[in-house]
Amino acid sequence: MVTEAVVELEGPSGRPKYDDLLSNPTSDAQAAGHMRASAVYKQKGDRFKLATQAFDRQYAHIYFQRLMLMKPPLLTKVRQKWPGVQLANILTLPENDEVLVVGTVYKDMKLKPSILDEYVKDRGASQLVGRTKFVGADDSIILEDESARMKLRGEGLPVGQLVTGVVMAVKGVAAPGGDFQVNAFCFADMAPQAPLPSLSEDKYVALVSGLGVGDDAADPLKLSLLVDYLVGSLASDEEQTRVSKIVRVVVAGGLLKSTEGLLQAITHKQPRQQAAALAPIREVDMCLSELAGAVPVEVMPGNNDPANHSLPQQPLHRCLFPLASSFTSFNRVTNPHEFEVDGISFLGTSGQNLDDIYKYSVEENRLTLLQRMLEWGHLVPTAPDTLTCYPLSDSDPFILQSAPHVFYVGNQPAYSSQMVAGPEGQKVLLICLPRFSSSGTLILVNLKTLAVHPIQFDADISA
Amino acid sequence: MVMFRAKLRWQKLVLCAEEQAQKLLRQFDLTAKYGPCTDVSRKQRWERARKLGLDPPQGVLQALEQLDASHPEQQGIWADRT
């Protein structure tokens, strides 16, 4: 789906002529240059910001909050679907009646890496080396509510697709032996969505992720081309008209290849070695300051970026970007991030949530997993089980209270996008952003039509 | 003699009330319906239960408000033990 260096956007057709930039402007209007379009921006990700950071709470509180906050809407939905079925507590399940239980899923996987494996002599590491998925045929689902837990049995239960941490409602009968025979199950389903506003003119939001600066194998010319393109100093006048319609650039994590350089800079005593170790972050800072001078930029931290490791990742510190921080158009935001541009809501992460679910689910298609996340009503269900999460206790900010219009995930191996529909007429655009360091792809989302345009930058001079 | 017996009876009554309050708070801690009782003070847990609509008993809040803010009974039963 990714095209070559020829830009294929809507608008007047024809290949861009590079001669246009090498000659005098043909008209006064052209000489005046282009004005960038502007859009109304609203920051909606305040719930991901942590006011205090206290680590004395246990993770049981997050699970309790998650269950209690997701239970009421799930119950109203389920009462309509299965009227007349009693709600029961796991601890006080009646013997032979068909009941309804709401709880959190725990998936028991034998292949799941556990720290205790080191102490068991016969299980070697050889089983787990080279595995991308930890699912097995003998995985089982256990449902937990605030009182107790029970094992679920049932042919229709999608054991392979479920992951730990999803809140589910099941209807069935208690089987002898303490298990529960499931007849039907239900999830929270897609949350309500604000109506899609209609815009009068084309405007674009540019999404990119995985810049990977500091990687010796990566080509720094690609990043240069990207910055030049977004600033508008690349290609012909026609192209610049289109670029002037890009109202926002979002970098969804993955700025640096790794934070090794920054950590080594502390140990190096010589200024020359220190400068070499800090070169990647300086390069990122220069690129971002160039961008911020031309277009509003938002930067989300990724897995290998110098921000806290546990979700929700807090914004990168402004000292890392001394040049870019002087621009008000430069926004350092959290991961996950939610914002609204001209009424179109975007929600996205830097990829840790999708990568983690991918490991524990049989599903191969990443877009289907994104759709599942919307169905389950939770952005990061596997936190805190397998994905590090901050020990929150007041609320669970990852619960999807409303469905966004665009749902993006960064740092994925390949680009893919799809429009999915919800049960109440919601329409969500799902986008998997590929890593820029390997694919050189920038994604433009048209706010008027919700069409997606990938633009590939290739700096290969030899071909 | 009579005064001594009356004093003993009075002390027994006061102790009974304290014990009853302790029992009530302990039961509140161990009720799984209101969530995990570790790492939060009893008042915080009561507030959380009220916000989530779980209808915690008013008697617990009254018993907590009668005590000092630094009273050991303000913390749950597992405080300092985990």
CB-based contact B36 A72, cutoff 8 Å: no
CB-based contact A61 B53, cutoff 8 Å: no
CB-based contact A61 B40, cutoff 8 Å: yes
- Dihedral angle sign, alpha carbons of residues A214, A215, A216, A217: negative
| Residues of B within an 8 Å Cβ radius of A | 32-33, 35-36, 38-40, 48, 52-54
Using pLDDT thresholds of 50, 70 and 90, give the confidence band for residue A8: very low
Distance between CA A353 and CA A425 in Å, rounded? 26
Res. B38: pLDDT tops 80? yes
Please compute the mean of the pLDDT values over residues A388-414 and round it to a whole number. Answer: 92
Top-ranked range on mean pLDDT: pick from A203-207, A209-213, A259-263: A203-207
Using pLDDT thresholds of 50, 70 and 90, give the confidence band for residue B5: confident
Q: Is the peptide bond before A384 cis (omega within 30 degrees of 0)?
A: yes
Contacts of residue B52, defined as CB under 8 A and 6 or more positions apart, other chains included, come to A68, A69
Residues of A in contact with B32 (CB under 8 A): 91, 146-147
Q: What is the pLDDT of residue A28?
A: 66
Contacts of residue A394, defined as CB under 8 A and 6 or more positions apart, other chains included, come to A65, B48
Question: Residue A416 in contact with residue A437, Cβ under 8 Å?
Answer: no
Residue B26 burial by Cβ neighbours in a 10 Å radius (0-12, 13-18, 19+): middle
CB-based contact A146 B33, cutoff 8 Å: yes
CB-based contact B39 A146, cutoff 8 Å: no
Using pLDDT thresholds of 50, 70 and 90, give the confidence band for residue A463: low
In the three-class reduction of DSSP (H, G, I as helix; E, B as strand; rest coil), residue A331 is classed as: strand
Please compute the mean of the pLDDT values over residues B51-72 and round it to a whole number. Answer: 87
Q: What percent of chain B has pLDDT over 90?
A: 15
In the three-class reduction of DSSP (H, G, I as helix; E, B as strand; rest coil), residue A309 is classed as: coil
CA angle B54, B60, B61 (to 5 degrees): 90
Using pLDDT thresholds of 50, 70 and 90, give the confidence band for residue A395: confident
pLDDT digits (tens, 9 = 90+) for A186-206: 999 899 999 999 999 999 999
pLDDT digits (tens, 9 = 90+) for B13-31: 777 877 888 888 999 999 8
In the three-class reduction of DSSP (H, G, I as helix; E, B as strand; rest coil), residue A67 is classed as: helix
Please compute the mean of the pLDDT values over residues A438-449 and round it to a whole number. Answer: 92
Tell me the count of A-B CB pairs closer than 8 A: 29
Taking each continuous run of H as one helix and of E as one strand, the counts in chain A are: 9, 18
Query: Could you give the C-alpha distances from A61 to A149, A213, B37, in angstroms and in order?
Result: 16, 38, 9
Question: Residue B25 in contact with residue B42, Cβ under 8 Å?
Answer: yes
Q: What is the pLDDT of residue A248?
A: 95
Please compute the mean of the pLDDT values over residues A236-252 and round it to a whole number. Answer: 88
Instruction: Identify the weakest region by mean pLDDT among A3-7, A296-300, B68-72.
Output: A3-7
| Helix H or strand E segment including A149 | strand A149-153
Q: Tell which residue, A284, A203, A273, A211, has the closest CA to residue A242.
A: A203
Token pair 């994905």 in the structure block, residue = A387
Q: What is the 3-state secondary structure (H, E, C) of B40-52?
A: CEHHHHHHHHHHC
More confident residue, B69 or A209: A209
Q: Tell which residue, A356, A362, A262, A249, has the closest CA to residue A306.
A: A262
φ, ψ of residue A123 to 5 degrees: the values are -85, 115
Q: What was the ipTM of the complex prediction? A: 0.84
Q: What is the pLDDT of residue A129?
A: 66
Q: What is the pLDDT of residue A6?
A: 42
CA atoms within 13 A on the CB side of B65: 7
Question: Residue A41 in contact with residue A296, Cβ under 8 Å?
Answer: yes
Bridge-based pairing state of the strands A416-421 and A427-434: antiparallel
Contacts of residue A251, defined as CB under 8 A and 6 or more positions apart, other chains included, come to A208, A209, A211, A288, A297, A298, A299, A300
Provide the 10 A C-beta neighbour count for residue A179.
16
**Which of A:48-77 have CB within 8 Å of B?**
56-58, 60-61, 64, 68-69, 72
Residues of A in contact with B36 (CB under 8 A): 58, 60-61, 64
Query: Could you give the C-alpha distances from A442 to A229, A327, A433, in angstroms and in order?
Result: 10, 23, 8
Distance between CA A344 and CA A326 in Å, rounded? 28
Residue A391 burial by Cβ neighbours in a 10 Å radius (0-12, 13-18, 19+): middle
pLDDT digits (tens, 9 = 90+) for A314-333: 999 999 999 999 999 999 99
Q: What is the pLDDT of residue A2?
A: 36
CA atoms within 13 A on the CB side of A288: 31
Tokens of A280: 């990647």
Res. A356: pLDDT tops 70? yes
pLDDT digits (tens, 9 = 90+) for A78-100: 999 999 898 999 888 888 889 99
Using pLDDT thresholds of 50, 70 and 90, give the confidence band for residue A446: very high
Provide the 10 A C-beta neighbour count for residue A434.
24
More confident residue, A459 or A196: A196
Using pLDDT thresholds of 50, 70 and 90, give the confidence band for residue A212: confident
CB-based contact A68 B54, cutoff 8 Å: yes
Using pLDDT thresholds of 50, 70 and 90, give the confidence band for residue A1: very low
Please compute the mean of the pLDDT values over residues A221-243 and round it to a whole number. Answer: 86
Instruction: Identify the weakest region by mean pLDDT among A24-28, A154-158, A313-317, A425-429.
Output: A24-28
Q: What percent of chain A has pLDDT over 70?
A: 91
pLDDT digits (tens, 9 = 90+) for A361-371: 999 999 999 99
Question: In angstroms, how far is CA A280 from the centroid of its own chain?
Answer: 24
Distance between CA B37 and CA B45 in Å, rounded? 7
φ, ψ of residue A406 to 5 degrees: the values are -130, 130
Distance between CA A301 and CA A293 in Å, rounded? 21
Distance between CA A336 and CA A354 in Å, rounded? 12
Distance between CA A392 and CA A58 in Å, rounded? 9
Q: What percent of chain A has pLDDT over 90?
A: 58
Give the DSSP letter string of A386-409: TS-B----S--TTB-SS--SEEEE
Give the DSSP letter string of A152-186: EE-TT--TTT--TT-EEEEEEEEPTTS-EEEEEEE
| Helix H or strand E segment including A104 | strand A98-108
Residues of B in contact with A91 (CB under 8 A): 32
Using pLDDT thresholds of 50, 70 and 90, give the confidence band for residue A338: very high
Q: What is the pLDDT of residue A11?
A: 47
| Helix H or strand E segment including A223 | helix A220-231
Distance between CA A27 and CA A341 in Å, rounded? 33
Res. B9: pLDDT tops 90? no
